[in-house]
Amino acid sequence: MDFRYLGNSGLKVSEISYGNWLTHGSQVENEQAKACVKAALEAGITTFDTADVYANTKAETVLGEALDGVRRESLEILTKVYWPTGPGGPNDAGLSRKHIHESINASLKRLRTDYVDVYQAHRYDTETPLEETMEAFADVVRAGKALYIGTSEWTSEQLQEGHRLARELHVPLVSNQPQYSMLWRTIEAEVVPTSEELGIGQVVFSPIAQGVLTGKYKPGAELPAGSRATDDKGGSNMISRFLNDDVLTRVQELKPIADEVGLSLSQLAIAWVLQNPNVSSAITGASRPEQVTENVKAAGVKLEDSLLKRIDETLGGIVERDPAKTAQNSPQTRPGR
């Protein structure tokens, strides 16, 4: 496993991190989930990403159990706050001072730790003054409950303002967690240049586009049974945008390129996002331990510029690049259940 600095901080994270967005507490039985975490540790992954909303807090609980007994100082644990949890009352979501402080305390209890390495705003809260949010995050850091703070799917303008307030409050805002893959490049035009200027690193999710870049979805074919595309617990919502014959055909055309460099399609996809120097880590999930073992083979891979150009030519116009899509990923009003 190779390691990278998280933004311009002194914190190193594993190039490939393990996330449990759609698996722990929902798709995968607990013992299988723990086996995946064990495989991640054995493969050299030290960075684990979760959120309180995943499986309505159950994912944090499973991860805390799976990591119990592992030397805490050898791990980087990231979690997030914003989306509704619990019964979904009026203060059970968002980035208000009340919700942030109640959420970090509950997350730490579920994760069985005294602190998280990075506490992240899971989206931008349009209904809470940003000053209130950043002051609450600063208090969390000063209380020793988080070492750094981060964001997820914030726009360039939101990052600039959040970073300015963080500097004034003397707390380290060092990361952003966006969706990023060969097919979804909305951060490249604005978020990445701003992040490079501010010293913010990307911890990207869905580098294999929810499984589309594995090549298992074939144009004109039935969806594989048990796949994310058939998951009625949330997985199918995100992947549906990619499930058209044009996208799936072009993904199949990437196979000869992957073969040339001795990688599977999924390994090529993970290696591709890691070619971006602003990416600190690529989050991968797994429902089976062998998937973890395969994913980590993308660490340390260098793809030549000529090969990256061929990937671009193969995918052509199916790539989503519109930076406005980032803002669209945050609700315009605070969500409720």
What residues are paired with 146 via a beta bridge? 116
Q: Write the DSSP assignment of 239-278 as a string of letters.
A: HGGG-SHHHHHHHHTTHHHHHHTT--HHHHHHHHHHTSTT
Tokens of 241: 């945008």
Amino acid at the residue 228: R
State the Cα–Cα distance between residues 129 and 161, nearest whole angstrom.
12
Tokens of 304: 């030549």
Helix (H) / strand (E) element for 150: namely strand 146-151
Tokens of 65: 């159990």
State the Cα–Cα distance between residues 279 and 177, nearest whole angstrom.
10
Tokens of 216: 């298992």
Amino acid at the residue 178: P
Q: What residue has token string 């600063």?
A: 138
Task: Please tell me whether residue 154 adopts helix, strand or coil conformation.
Answer: coil
Q: Residue 331 CB: number of other CB atoms within 10 A?
A: 17
The burial of 69, by beta-carbon neighbours within 10 Å (0-12 exposed, 13-18 middle, 19 or more buried), is given as exposed
Residue among 52, 50, 51, 55 at smallest CA distance from 29: 55
Catalytic sites, residue numbers:
54
State the Cα–Cα distance between residues 336 and 318, nearest whole angstrom.
33
Strand pairing category for 3-5 and 12-14: antiparallel
Contact present, 327 and 155 (Cβ < 8 Å)? yes
**220 phi-psi bin (left φ>0, alpha ψ -120 to 50, beta other):** left
